[in-house]
Structure 1
């Protein structure tokens, strides 16, 4: 699917990203001293009040913070296992961002999906490397399951680095024997640490936000091992059995390359997948909910996807349970007839 219309605000944001954000990120030192601005940005964002009509509640689980975000009218109580939940992982390149920087986006997603959202402040570099971030995500998923949230009513979601986690957590949860979630929503996800295709893609130069040539340096900084490890890229895993996926990307961002490759591999693995490509937008544009009309439009479609996959997964589970009950009754009848 290709979204072709875009607003004047999108032009302004695209220009600001190209002439301010990208040059700054191109030169910003990837060192412990240079990365101190990441936590500072999250601290400032945390001082802002939650959007109107939104309730929040912070908890500490497993040594990191999570925040329940619920828009008014979603479901009574906070939280509410019967309503299900969205487990959201924020973006920020594993070196910045947090629940504060993404609260407006998460609040809008709660409203459009009609579900409470558990936003995860997973550990990032230098507190943890990639494997630590994934471990926190799996812990948060297991925590939801242990607190009564049915897997068929949980959707894993995230943007950019969080999109990476939405896939990585689903794969790691499967490896740990946990039930699969109802769906995966990935916004501008980073899915392949092998940057060969991205370096040759025309969007390497056209991306208004991400300096794609710095991605290998970011990997060297946050990877748990010094050498390349293909297993750290979700795109290299066996994708069979994953739940339905919605991918949303900007037409000219460099990570479009990852999304298109993942969409093809999901199709090859018989996993239902929708890839939406939005023209005139910047990387992870739905995070700009409240500033950008297209952000809200994308989150409305994301919310509809979440409602659809959770309802479908719940119906399929109910149908399976009814078939099992019928089979047990038939077996009992046959035993009675034999007797």
Structure 2
């Protein structure tokens, strides 16, 4: 008998989160709705990461550049995280597959590191349209393989990511298993994109209320990053993949985001594949609300849950300090 995923509805949405969602609906959603997905405009997408240099990580964070991979990467150790830890998280950033990077996510990743009590290998995989999505996936697999080659045990590694990085947090382990690598201890995905069929999101109830993502525009992302793809290809679409053998998984999503459709479908498919999965649905929260933890207490609470999950699946001791 397939196992049922655990669905946890997290009630409570403070006024800062509500205000952030309202501001996003007024400012960001109209911009995303009108921004053209052309080769010319996508040339400027990397500038978003450069502009994020002002988002400094929490005091006490240690960042170390990584060399030897085919893409950019860095170690991020949150405040109080020891340098000699043999447990780690490998994290893939979101950004619609075409934007963001190490700088945009460094502050949130430092908080995740602190909450988990272990360092995070943040991976700046190469992105479409400069490379194919297969190259992006391979960069993520290679980062996981690099950790194994350093002597980290697979049982001591958690794979994570948000949005497009959440997609990669599932595809990288699937490709790694196909390559004969051992499975990681766990997967954590924040608002993951997992289904290339955008019509399922366009008709979802949240399509009308998502304060950031206009669902129909996601077709532009798919056509750009997955040109000519079969949307049911199991080596391109996590919800159509053979998920058996994946490790315990934590999925977090906001109750008002359109990618809740993907999170719910993925949790269902993981259960059908006998993969233990916990889906947390956070009331009133928008896409990747954890990145707004500076103004949202729910973001901090969600990060603490991520840290607790990482410690549990790797057997790391509990931490007393808050994220």
In 1, Cα distance between equivalents of 2:231 and 2:89: 32
- Identify the residue that residue 141 of structure 1 maps to in structure 2: 144
1:95 to 95, 98, 106: 98
Aligned partner of residue 94 in structure 1, secondary structure: coil
Q: Matched residues in 2 for 1:2 and 1:73: separation?
A: 31
SS where residue 118 of structure 1 aligns? strand
How far off its partner does 1:227 sit? 5.4
- Aligned residue in 2 for 1:280: 284
Determine which structure has more spread, i.e. the larger CA radius of gyration: 1
Matched ranges for 1:167-182 at <5 A: 167-182=170-185
Q: Which residue of 1 aligns with 2:165?
A: 162
Paired residue secondary structure (2:171): helix
User: 1:29 Cα shift?
Assistant: 0.6
Mapped partners of 1:87, 1:23: distance in 2: 33
Corresponding position of 2:67:
60
Deviations 1:251-285 (A, max 9, x none): 01111111111111111111111000011111011
> What displacement does 1:48 show?
4.6
Pick from 248, 255, 264 the counterpart of residue 251 of structure 1: 255
The aligned residue for residue 122 of structure 1 is 125
Cα deviation, residue 62, structure 1: 2.8
RMSD over equivalenced CA pairs, Å = 1.5
Cα offset for 1:59? Answer: 1.6
For 1:188-225, what per-residue CA distance to the aligned partner results, in whole angstroms no more than 9, with x for missing partners?
A: 00000012321221111111111111112211101154
Do 1:39 and 1:96's aligned partners in 2 also have CA atoms closer than 8 Å? yes
Q: Mapping of 1:162-241 within 5 angstroms?
A: 162-223=165-226, 225=228, 228=231, 230-231=233-234, 232-241=236-245
- 2:275 counterpart residue number: 271
1:333 corresponding residue in structure 2: none
1:103-114 equivalence runs, <5 A: 103-114=106-117
TM-score, length-normalised on structure 1? 0.88
Residues matched between the structures, number: 308
1:40 is matched with which residue: 47, 54, 74?
47
Unpaired segments of 5 or more residues in structure 2?
1-7, 317-323
3-state SS in 2 of match to 1:100? helix
State the alpha-carbon separation in 2 of the partners of residues 3 and 226 from structure 1: 36
Residues in 2 aligned to 1:276 and 1:34: alpha-carbon distance in whole angstroms: 35
Residues 1:224 and 1:213: Cα distance change in structure 2 (over 3 Å): closer
Q: Is the CA contact 1:104–1:290 (under 8 Å) kept in the aligned structure 2?
A: no
1:299 Cα offset (Å): 0.3
Higher RCO (CA < 8 A, seq sep 6+): 2
Change (3 A) 1:165 1:140: same
1:89 positional shift:
0.5
2:3 maps to none
Q: CA deviation at 1:228?
A: 4.2
For residue 161 of structure 2, give the secondary structure of its aligned residue in structure 1.
strand
Q: Aligned pair 1:311/2:318, yes or no?
A: no
Contact 2:17 2:295 in 1 (8 A): no
Whole-angstrom distance in 1 between the partners of 2:296 and 2:103: 18
Partners in 2 of 1:60 and 1:275 — Cα distance? 35
**Kept after mapping to 2: 8 A contact 1:17/1:282:** no
Higher percent of residues as helix: 1
How far, CA to CA, are the matches of 2:145 and 2:53 in structure 1? 26
